[in-house]
Amino acid sequence: MRPRVSRLRRLVLPARAVVRGGRAPCPHLLVEALRAHRGVARISFDDSELVIDYDPAQTSLPAVQALAERVGLALVERWSSCQWRLAGTHCADPVPGVPVLGDGRAAPDVQINCAAGTITAQVPSAGDGLVRLRQRLQQLGLTRPEDEADQVEARERVGLALLTALCALFLVAGRLAEALGAPHAPLYLAALAAGGVPSLRNALVALRRRTFGVDLLMLVAAAGAAALGEWFEGGVLLFLFSLSTTLEAFALGRTRSAIRALLALTPDVATVERDGREELLPAAALVPGDVVLVRPGERVPADGVVVSGTSLVDQAAITGESAPVPKDVGDECLSGTVNQQAALRLRVTRPASESTVARMVRMVEQARAQKARAQHLSEWFGQRYTLAVISLALAATAVPLALGHPAGPTIYRALTLLVVASPCAVVLATPAAVLSAIARAAQRGLLFKGGAFIERLAGVRVVLFDKTGTLTVGRPAVASFLAWQTSEAEALAEAAAAEQLSEHPLARAVVAYARERGLVLPSGDELEALPGHGVRARVGEAHVVIGNERLWATLDAELPAAALDAAAEWRGAGQTVAFVGRLDGARATLRAIVGWQDELRPTSRAAVAALRSAGLAHVAILTGDEPRTAAAVARALGMDYHAGLLPEDKVALVRALREQYGPVAMVGDGVNDAPALAAADVGIAMGGIGSDAAIESADLVLASDDMLRLVEAYELSRATVRIVRQSLAFGTAVIALLLVGALAGLVRLSVGVVGHEGSTLVVVANGLRLLRWRP
């Protein structure tokens, strides 16, 4: 028995909470699997969030959350997501039902994206379901082989252009023949045939799927006009419709080409050093540990670290940075970037399938398949609206005929209604803009995970920043060190021995500071991270702790007043402070105070100022650092701050600020700030293209560390939403005006065709403006 609605509680998880390895479970399967569990009442899952209503009397919040993550992981392991190139579907065609596999079983979660030209489906990881589904999709005329897709698309565009030109030629010849009194019917028939071939093919494919779309409407309207003796108007209708289809194909092909151009960034071959010899190998065959030679002018074939050489590398194609970046030994080079100055030897750090370019392509392809809310609305509208148009045309024919009106004018008016009320412009408004924005964003190093996040970023009212590694460069250095009742060398060596086990930037700074002073560090082990507090480790026979006052409070230890005064002075200067001590049982003895200083990113001040001037309600720092340290950074940048926060405090504050101001964007490194990134409406990872955690936890990844890229992303999202609204308003207004005119008998078929196709082209062109967008 279902629990009563009044007793239900709701758990809202970001979709990435059930994502593993960059893969999301099939929404259909996830909902079905969770619904079967005790205490779960209602579930919904989309591109952005998983919503579960549950009965607290039968289950608990932690149990529901653990269940969702466990089921999501199991489904990801059992089911695979596959994508094919879509074939033969017009913009306004209704999407068919879920295709079935060869043995009659359904393939869940089949998503068709006409504008992106893709079809995505979930198939069982084991067995031959993939083969059966591919065959079924080909039988339905939905897919074409991937290796032939580009050539087929190019031939189709050329074929469409040729048929459109022939239609125009026969129309002009027929008009001249009619004016001269010569036989003209064969010429008009040829025009109708040339202009109608693409529509006839698409209409037949749709009928095979037991659906119908705008192509069928246009064919009926043209045939009806010809039957009424309006040969020229029928020919003009098909010519303009064919021209519009051709231009749409070329226009949307530009967005797909912009995406596929990312693949060309990686060279086909690489010079690899093996056994003291240089040999050319396919770049796809490189594995971690290989050493590659990149000469001046060559592209970096794989992500790697410089092992010898110094040069300048052009990263514009990946990160959008306009100036070449210096590279020295130990620096990371990203695949697809161009070596400009001198030869570099790189040690490959990631396989080709996980390179920066491969990840960018994968993320952008995923983004094309995920739809913005406006696109879901326009597709829902388009599919139902088409049925309404047909019903209206039938009524506009049947009612006047029943009242005794002449058949010719009545049918002519109904045919005009079919044309002018077609929803092409409305359906294309969102995908034309969003696909162009995704392509343009990728070119500038802004990697959105879906159109939904472009739309959501445009509506944020709060932007929150992590401090270290986001607003600052993330390379802190020890600025102050004060030993307490021991020698500086002994206290520093002890602290560095504990910190050398950690990868945290503050830890690395302490180790570097000790080595600069020539200290020999004792061995350390048993490192234990204490989130929001510090670390604990064993150094020799001693147990060492390094952390803030919260850590010392848990150790039942009181810090001397003089030490607290020194820490306060350092924090006032913008330093991060920690206390080093030795454990004696449960108590700790102070050994030293250490202060770190991290410099601001050069563009942080300008980026914060730009966001504030954009009218955002709240721009602030979220940090676990001490209030005085955060205050110093906040003063330098002219922003608010929230300091001394544990990870759970950041999540709570994100939710509180959402309640107070509205949608929240959180900017962080994607690792330490993962909970806050997940809790925000839009999680943004700075400079995180090489970080697995950043890619999995963020909705938007900025490939560059330049803070102004964040401002670009915000401006692009607002421009995209603005263009979508313009196009929707324009397309709807044109349809309404033409519809009223057609019902009143004031709009002829030829005028309706021009208005319909003209509005569609305007909408597509308006969206494609984003391909040339500049901040």
How does strand 682-686 pair with strand 700-702?
Answer: parallel
What is the distance between the alpha carbons of residues 617 and 710, in angstroms, rounded to a whole number? 17
Report the amino acid identity of residue 510: V
Q: Are 40 and 34 in contact (CB under 8 A)?
A: yes
- Cβ(647)–Cβ(675) below 8 Å: yes
* Geometric angle at alpha carbon 326, from 323 and 330, rounded to 5°: 145
**In the numeric block, which tokens belong to residue 452?**
């939904």
CA distance 457 to 719: 11
Please, are residues 87 and 143 in contact by the beta-carbon 8 Å criterion?
A: yes
Q: How many residues does the chain have?
A: 775
Provide DSSP, 556-576.
Answer: T----HHHHHHHHHHHHTT-E
| Of residues 281, 199, 190, the one with CA closest to residue 238 | 199
27 touches 71 (CB < 8 A): no
Dihedral pair phi/psi, residue 268, rounded to 5°: -75, -35
Question: How remote is the C-alpha of 435 from its chain's centroid?
Answer: 11
Q: How far apart are CA 463 and CA 621, in angstroms?
A: 9
Written as six digits, the tokens of 564 are 């607290």
Contact yes or no for 34/71 (Cβ under 8 A): yes
- 3-state SS class at 593: strand
- One-letter amino acid at 286 equals L
CA distance 468 to 686: 11
- CA dihedral sign, ordered 496, 500, 504, 508: positive
What's phi and psi for 142, nearest 5 deg? -95, -25
Contact 664, 680 (CB under 8 A): yes
DSSP character string of 319-369: H--SS-EEE-TT-EE-TT-EE-SS-EEEEE-S-GGGSHHHHHHHHHHHHHH
Q: Which helix (H) or strand (E) holds 720?
A: helix 708-743
- SS3 of residue 620 by DSSP: strand
Are the beta carbons of 7 and 56 closer than 8 angstroms? Answer: yes
Residue 480: its H or E element? strand 477-483
**How many angstroms from the chain centroid is the CA of residue 180?**
59
Catalytic residue among 466, 625, 673, 706: 466
Q: Record the tokens describing residue 723, joined without a space.
A: 């263009």
Return the residue matching tokens 């999995």.
Answer: 696
Say how far residue 750 (Cα) sits from the centre of its chain.
Answer: 42
**Strand 524-530 with 700-702, pairing:** unpaired
Q: Looking at 120-261, list the stretches that DSSP marks H as alpha helix, in order from N- to C-terminal side.
A: 129-139, 146-179, 185-208, 214-227, 231-260
Q: Which long-range contacts (CB under 8 A, 24 or more apart) does 271-275 make?
A: 271/295, 273/345
Report phi then psi at 487, rounded to 5: -80, 155
Phi first, then psi: give them for residue 625, nearest 5 degrees. Answer: -70, 170
Q: Is 584 a catalytic residue?
A: no
Q: What does DSSP assign to residue 486?
A: S
Amino acid at 480: S
DSSP classification of residue 596: E
Q: How big is the CA angle at 356 (ends 354 and 359), to the nearest 5 degrees?
A: 60
Do the beta carbons of residue 439 and residue 761 sit within 8 Å? no
Residues with active-site annotation: 466
